[in-house]
């Protein structure tokens, strides 16, 4: 058998496998509902291991790669079937997580849930790389598609579950953030999978076209437009997040240096909050004597300007520290700011 015939047979086999994995089935719904159940309880337990391990049973990669192949092949019928399978799987995840979130309304929102409510440009890059890995594993017999499928599902099921849990509690803003992350991952994975399939020769229509690249861009125009819009939005979000992080780090460093230099005083924690036109910096300080208002004002003047243009306001929460030995109270006469 010639090399061309071998390649043709290989592509036909892969294309058949993709079409089979992308089709809707009851097992598809059931497995995604189970994945959402395990992921939701993993999110409530604040356990990254459980959240990742739960994705072994998820079935979302197949429909995504099916959408990618349908776009590359310009197969409208298969595109609709793949979209139906993908949307039904996502709906199963959302519905299952919403029920769990409603039943366990009293459980606290964990950091694992909150971590999926603020997507940024890094998430987009991770999703693009994940899509390449998923598509390449699909067309390669040497790689385990199951393991890559777990990685792809991890990028989709946890944010979808987080969105439903938050929606069940009425946290619309946070729920939309988690849903945005799911959309970012979904579109990025689909587009990068289309690129891999096109580059590896899965393009029935483009082989006969005089402008294959232009044809590919036309077929994936919607995905490209969405990715560009998301990229711009997430880049802005990332810049804001980085600027805020730098502000908080610098503020903490200044307060720690000034407060810890005061004899017997120690900076315990710094928290940040937004109010009307203000960024409130709450510093918890432990020491023998509290600072005077003038000293707080002097510390406030040293703080950097918040990146959002608001005014930084320092509020110190003082916890008195009394040290006692066999002779009595020590450092009781040390004033805040003394370094000797």
Mean pLDDT of the chain, nearest integer: 82
Q: What is the mean pLDDT of residues 286-292?
A: 86
At 2 the pLDDT is: 60
Question: Using 50, 70 and 90 to split pLDDT, how confident is the model at 175?
Answer: very high
Question: Using 50, 70 and 90 to split pLDDT, how confident is the model at 336?
Answer: confident
Residue 11 contacts residue 3 (beta carbons within 8 Å): no
Burial of 20 (0-12, 13-18, 19+ CB in 10 A): exposed
Q: What is the mean pLDDT of residues 213-225?
A: 72
Higher-scoring residue by pLDDT: 75, 255: 255
Residue 25 contacts residue 62 (beta carbons within 8 Å): no
Distances 120 to 240, 242, 248, 335, 338 between C-alpha atoms, Å: 10, 10, 19, 46, 44
Q: How far apart are CA 51 and CA 41, in angstroms?
A: 8
Domain boundaries, the chain: 3-219, 243-330
Higher-scoring residue by pLDDT: 322, 169: 169
Residue 119 contacts residue 55 (beta carbons within 8 Å): no
Q: What is the mean pLDDT of residues 162-180?
A: 92
pLDDT at 217 over 90: no
Question: Assign residue 332 a region: left if phi > 0, alpha if psi is -120 to 50, beta otherwise?
Answer: alpha
At 192 the pLDDT is: 83
Q: How far apart are CA 107 and CA 50, in angstroms?
A: 17
pLDDT at 25 over 70: yes
| CATH for the 243-330 domain, from 3.30.420.10, 3.30.70.1060, 3.30.300.20, 3.90.1480.20 | 3.30.300.20
Q: How far apart are CA 41 and CA 58, in angstroms?
A: 15
For residue 255, give the nearest of 290, 287, 298 by alpha carbon.
Answer: 298
Q: What is the mean pLDDT of residues 52-79?
A: 81
Residues 254-281: tens digit of each pLDDT: 999 988 887 778 899 999 988 878 899 9
C-beta atoms surrounding 189 within 10 Å: 29
Domain 3-219: which topology?
A: Glycerol uptake facilitator protein (1.20.1080)
Residues 135-168: tens digit of each pLDDT: 777 777 655 555 555 455 557 889 999 999 999 9
At 99 the pLDDT is: 96
* Residue 249, both tokens: 């780090």
């Amino acid at each position: 058998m010639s090399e061309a015939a071998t390649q043709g047979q290989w592509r036909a086999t892969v294309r058949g496998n993709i079409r089979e994995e992308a089709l809707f089935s009851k097992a598809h719904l059931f497995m995604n509902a189970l994945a959402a159940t395990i992921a939701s309880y993993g999110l409530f337990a604040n356990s990254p291991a459980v959240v990742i391990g739960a994705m072994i049973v998820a079935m979302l990669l197949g429909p995504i790669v099916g959408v990618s192949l349908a776009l590359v092949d310009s197969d409208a019928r298969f595109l609709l079937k793949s979209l139906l399978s993908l949307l039904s799987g996502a709906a199963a995840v959302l519905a299952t997580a919403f029920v769990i979130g409603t039943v366990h309304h009293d459980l606290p929102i964990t950091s694992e849930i909150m971590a999926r409510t603020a997507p940024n440009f890094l998430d987009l890059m991770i999703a693009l790389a994940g899509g390449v890995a998923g598509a390449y594993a699909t067309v390669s017999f040497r790689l385990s598609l199951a393991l890559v499928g777990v990685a792809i599902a991890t990028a989709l099921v946890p944010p979808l579950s987080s969105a439903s849990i938050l929606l069940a509690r009425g946290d619309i803003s946070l729920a939309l953030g988690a849903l945005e992350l799911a959309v970012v991952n979904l579109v990025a994975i689909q587009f990068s999978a289309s690129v891999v399939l096109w580059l590896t020769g899965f393009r029935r229509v483009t082989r006969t076209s005089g402008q294959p690249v232009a044809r590919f861009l036309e077929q994936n125009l919607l995905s490209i437009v969405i990715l560009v819009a998301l990229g711009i939005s997430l880049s802005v979000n990332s810049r804001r997040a980085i600027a805020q992080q730098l502000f908080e780090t610098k503020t903490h460093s200044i307060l720690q240096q000034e407060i810890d230099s005061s004899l017997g005083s120690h900076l315990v924690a710094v928290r940040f909050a937004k109010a009307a036109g203000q960024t409130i910096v709450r510093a918890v300080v432990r020491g023998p004597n509290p600072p005077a208002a003038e000293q707080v004002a002097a510390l406030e003047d040293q703080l950097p300007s918040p990146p959002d243009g608001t005014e930084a306001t320092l509020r110190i929460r003082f916890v008195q520290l009394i040290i006692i030995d066999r002779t009595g109270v020590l450092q009781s006469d040390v004033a805040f700011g003394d370094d000797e």
